[in-house]
Amino acid sequence: MAFRKPPDGGWGWVIVVVSFFAQFLCYGSPLAVGVLYLEWLDAFGEGKGKTAWVGSLANGIGLLASPVCSICVSSFGARPVAIFSGFMVAGGLMMSSFAPNIYFLYVSYGIVVGLGCGLLYTATVTITCQYFDKRRGLALGLISTGSSVGLFIYAALQRELIELYGLDGCLLIVGALSLNILACGSLMRPLESSSSPPPEKMFVDKVPDQYFVYHEKEKTVEENISILEKGYIDEKSVNNVPDCKQDSVLNKNALSSINVSEKDTYKKKVVEQTNFCKQLAKRKWQLYLTYWKETMVLFKNKVFSALFVAILLFDIGGFPPSLLMEDVARSANISEDDYYMPLISIIGIMTTVGKLILGILADFKWVNTLYLYVTTLLMTGVALFAIPFAKSYLTLAMLSGILGFLTGNWSIFPYVTTKTVGIEKLTHAYGILMFFAGLGNSLGPPIVGWFYDWTQEYNTAFYFSGFCVLLGGFLLLLAALPCWNACTNQSSKLPPNTYSYKVASNA
């Protein structure tokens, strides 16, 4: 379906507002799951690694299922998918209030809520891109801050609700709040198509040419019947003598000729349908082969391969603080009287600031987005190494703010991907990278939790996290260095349709 030109305003700003609030309501609880994590540890008495799977699944499953989410939005539209995701998120949160064990939470909170978040994210981004062209970057930036603001508010909200109504009451209330996603989704009016042909014409246009053969053959049968009847009537009129025997013979001949024609038509239909199915299967198989060939071409680009490793390692090491920072403070025996604000709230508000500032920096011509992204990775690794040395609330709050700001590098990640593979292959490459980002989100917190279960302290766990992020940053930096590109260009040439990142280019 061809949509008309994006209006870059008008109802598009309503789409931005409702998408912001939809992401706020949807991602608030999963991103602020660190508050619930402490309660689940006390309620079920499981290990930190096993309990951390709940929050990691909720944040990673949506990215892992991003291809499925994209197919759903393409097939059914953004508005129905957004409304359905509201039911999933609200239902998953409410079901979690009745969880008898940690395994039930894996399904209710981890998978159901996670899939709902993935569907909603895809729907909001898709419909925003349809309504905006020139101001698309601004619109996407505004709606992406909804999740960060949700993290900031929900961290304090869930803690207050737990104190007032307990863990089960908190999940029920948060789930009820998520039902407002339905109202937001209902306002996501689809953009009208540029041309609206009559339904009958659209239906005929979509029918393959092979099926017109069937109609022609069916017409031939009808014509044969009419010819036989016409000949019989003419003959009767000429002779003007009723002849029952002759009438029965003609009827038998007509019926036999009709049966023969129908059998032939049916056989030809079966043959043509079989050929059509074979051609369709062959075409699909060729599409799959083309997809994997293009994927292999992408990985021949050294910068893209390094970017894939970097995003995986960054999410393994950089995501756990947003989930475990509250437990780190409790393990450091920090008094609750010293808490001026939840550490997760600090991470949330600074992530919003980081997205805005890093996004603005990426628009300057003298700033290289790849080097800027590498800088955020290296600084994140250093901050993770510093967490074991933080023994006071003030120090942990400062590190939480730094980590939150650097996590805002998600706003420049599409820029980096575009510069690496080119705009033509952005969708393909971004889908692959988001899948591995979801894999890192799912694995990171449980790995850190298992380290704690083995050593009974977080120092080794955060040393491991910092090492992962630093390793990814150094690999990406090495792949982007001009001297490395010069050496590789002399030794081998990239295959056609492959884009290498030129470090001299500007964002």
Q: Name the 3-class secondary structure at 193.
A: strand
| Tokens representing residue 301 in the block | 């680009």
pLDDT band at 18 (very low <50, low <70, confident <90, very high): very high
Residues 116-128, mean pLDDT to the nearest whole number: 87
Write phi, then psi, for 193 (nearest 5 degrees): -75, 155
With a cut of 70, say whether residue 186 has pLDDT above it. yes
501 by Cβ neighbours in 10 Å (0-12 / 13-18 / 19+) ranks as buried
Paired strand residues for 193? 3
What is the CATH class of 1-193?
mainly alpha
Q: From the CB of residue 32, how many other CB atoms can be counted at a distance below 10 Å? A: 30
| Cβ atoms of 148 and 355 closer than 8 Å | yes
Mean of pLDDT values over 207-226: 44
Q: How far apart are CA 377 and CA 475, in angstroms?
A: 11
Give the residue, 246 or 369, on which the prediction is more confident: 369
Q: Provide the token pair at 360.
A: 């603005």
Can you tell me the mean pLDDT for 290-312?
81
Are 75 and 133 spatial neighbours (Cβ–Cβ below 8 Å)?
A: no
Q: Which CATH architecture has domain 274-484?
A: Up-down Bundle (1.20)
In one letter, which amino acid is 465?
A: S
**Phi, then psi, of 3 in degrees rounded to 5:** -90, 155
pLDDT in tens, 371-407: 899 999 999 999 999 998 888 888 998 999 999 999 8
Q: Which of 456, 342, 329, 452 is nearest to 392 (CA)?
A: 329
**Mean pLDDT for the stretch of residues 343-352:** 86
Single-letter code of the amino acid located at 492: S
Give the model confidence (pLDDT) of 5-17 as tens digits.
Answer: 677 778 888 999 9
pLDDT of residue 241: 46
Cα–Cα distance measured from residue 202 to residue 289, given in angstroms and rounded to the nearest whole number: 31
Indicate if the pLDDT at residue 237 is higher than 60.
no
Global model pTM greater than 0.75: no
Domain(s) labelled CATH 1.20.1250.20 in the chain stretch across 1-193, 274-484
Read off the tokens for 210: 């092979």
What the block records as the tokens of 90 is 């609200």
pLDDT digits (tens, 9 = 90+) for 267-277: 666 666 666 66
